[in-house]
Amino acid sequence: MVDRSWIGKDLGSFVVEVAPKEVRRFVDAIGDDRPMYRDVEAARAAGLAGIPIPPTYPFSLMLDREDPFVFLRLLDIPQGKILHAEQRFEYHAPLYADEPITLTEKVADIYDKKGGALEFVVLDAEARRADGTLAVTMRRSLVVRHG
Amino acid sequence: MAERELGGGAVAPGTVLAERTEAPVTRDLLARFAAASYDSNPIHVDIDFAKASGYPDVFAHGMLIMARMVRLANDLAGGTRLRSVSTRFVSITRVGDAITSTARLARYEDGPTGRVAVVDLIAADQAGDIKLKGEATIALA
């Protein structure tokens, strides 16, 4: 059983800055050839202030830290037992490469199904720009398989 | 062309707006996505770890399949008008699976920041088995 007393607790805050080459590496891996992710002029032509962070990359921002799976250690969950169950992103303002992004995360919920054979851990996170503007909110649900 | 297909609110619900079939998933792709996405979970790249965890082989990151599925919606949104995306990870994508992502108009609705298109997103394998089932909202231009 995952310790339910974690519900509502903060998993900390950290700041990352994404280099343009990290954006390029990501869009190369997923096969996205949109020029705005590779060329700042193309981004500006689309009305953006710089190279934008791709829509699902904020998930990677959460892993771009010294201990990417800190919550597994804190909640005492083996890495081989988890699967991604659901993921959601809401976009409020753009995020850009070469700008500090502040990330915070908390445990939103922990619950079980099938008589405890499956446990779900729901983590809510947000990404803010340097001036404090809320840019992206995200929710990831992970399922822990027991037995 | 795809960007015009939302048609300022004139497309019939159920219309397929975009569809793309990707090359089969390779171990090389999983290694590159692991590095590019900072997802270092060995379950996606280390067959010994996968077997010790009860799986026959490594399998794709859900976020890889989501990223490619969301690309369809992002293209429809011109890269700047995506308001939200969400998905359920229905089943595991294996090495060798060729995934087709499909974006289909669900409806138009009035959101807090204006009129949006709600688009159903599906990712399925070569046998038609659903891997991801999601939704995007796109602000109309």
B53 falls within a domain:
yes
B29 falls within a domain:
yes
- The predicted complex's ipTM stands at 0.95
- Judged by phi (left if over 0) then psi (alpha if -120 to 50, else beta), residue B9 lies in left
pLDDT single digits (tens) B30-49: 999 999 999 999 999 999 99
pLDDT single digits (tens) B86-120: 999 999 999 999 999 999 999 999 988 899 999 99
- Residue A10, domain extent: 4-19+52-145
Average pLDDT in chain B: 94
Res. A147 pLDDT band, cuts 50 70 90: low
pLDDT at B1: 40
B60 falls within a domain:
yes
- Residue B34, domain extent: 12-139
Pair B119, B134: CB distance under 8 Å: no
Of A34, A55, A84, the CB nearest to B89: A84
What average pLDDT does range A111-130 have in this prediction?
Answer: 95
Q: Do A55 and B87 count as a contact with CB atoms less than 8 A apart?
A: no
Q: Do A87 and B86 count as a contact with CB atoms less than 8 A apart?
A: yes
How near does any CA of chain A get to the CA of B13, in Å?
23
Identify all chain B residues contacting A25, using CB atoms and an 8 Å cutoff: 35-36
What average pLDDT does range B40-62 have in this prediction?
Answer: 96
B19 falls within a domain:
yes
The share of chain A scoring above pLDDT 90, in percent, equals 84
How near does any CA of chain B get to the CA of A65, in Å?
9
How near does any CA of chain B get to the CA of A8, in Å?
22
B52 falls within a domain:
yes
The domain spanning residue B124 has which CATH number?
Answer: 3.10.129.10
Pair B16, B103: CB distance under 8 Å: yes
B5 falls within a domain:
no
What CA–CA distance (Å, rounded) separates A75 from B7?
48
A29 falls within a domain:
no
B108 falls within a domain:
yes
Of A25, A79, A90, the CB nearest to B84: A90
State the sign of the Cα–Cα–Cα–Cα dihedral A60, A61, A64, A65: negative
Query: What are the strands of the beta sheet with A134-145, ordered from one edge?
Result: A10-17, A100-113, A118-128, A134-145, A82-91, B82-89, B130-139, B114-124, B100-111, B16-21
The domain spanning residue A66 has which CATH number?
Answer: 3.10.129.10
Q: Where are the beta strands (DSSP E) in chain B?
A: 16-21, 82-89, 100-111, 114-124, 130-139
Domain count, chain A: 1
A76 falls within a domain:
yes
Tokens of A84: 């991604």
Average pLDDT in chain A: 95
For chain B, what percentages of helix, strand and coil (3-state, to nearest 5) are there? Answer: 25, 35, 40
Domain count, chain B: 1
